[in-house]
Amino acid sequence: MRPALLALPVLALSTPAQAEDLQTWLEAKLALEPAKRLELSVAPQVRLQLDDPRQLSAAMVDLGVEYGPTRWLALGLTYRPSYERDGDEALVTRHRLAADLMARLDLGDLRLGYRLRLTEKYRPDANNQWKATLRNLVSVTWRGWEDWRPKASAELYVGLDDFDQAERDTLRLTVGTEYALTERQSIEVFYRVETL
């Protein structure tokens, strides 16, 4: 099997339009398919402040496995160790486990997608605190052009720390496009707004 390399330099303008909240996200993904419908991936990512690109906002790597029992359904597991800035601007360690259920529907050149993600984030610096979140993502992608794939998505985060009283944490809206450089490489640029 030949490894598939997908390089994604990403420009992410994240959260409300305040200069200190604008970020550049850089990610490279290496994916292998050891068996039919099974993908193993490693995806390191760096997030930099746009107003000061020397300031690291976060560094992380996603270690994932994805299995697609059908063309329209996939299951995934991901582990993410990361260094992120806390409220005091100090870099601290985080660990995140995620389980995904993904579905898609192709309507001609239009692809509709849905992803249900359950995450469990561990913060060793905060009294070994665990934080559970349920994330619902709905996306639409236009696949009618050869190299360009415009897309938009909405993702709702629901905190599950108190299972008796789940509450909305974040709404993330994204619009962007992906451009294919080669069969195995692409660049994605998007604008993202998060509301708390």
CA angle 132, 133, 137 (to 5 degrees): 160
Q: Which is higher by pLDDT, 77 or 89? A: 77
Residue pair 32/40 in contact (Cβ under 8 Å)? The answer is yes
Q: What is the DSSP letter of 97?
A: E
The pLDDT tens digits for 140-160 are 999 999 899 999 999 999 988
Residue 160 tokens, joined: 């599950």
Architecture of domain 4-195: Beta Barrel (2.40)
Residue pair 162/152 in contact (Cβ under 8 Å)? The answer is no
pLDDT at residue 22 in the model:
76
pLDDT at residue 87 in the model:
76
* Region at 57 (left for phi over 0; alpha for psi -120 to 50; beta for the rest): alpha
End-to-end Cα, the chain, rounded Å: 44
What are the boundaries of each domain within the chain?
A: 4-195
Which of these ranges, 56-65, 105-114, 123-132, has the smallest mean pLDDT? 123-132
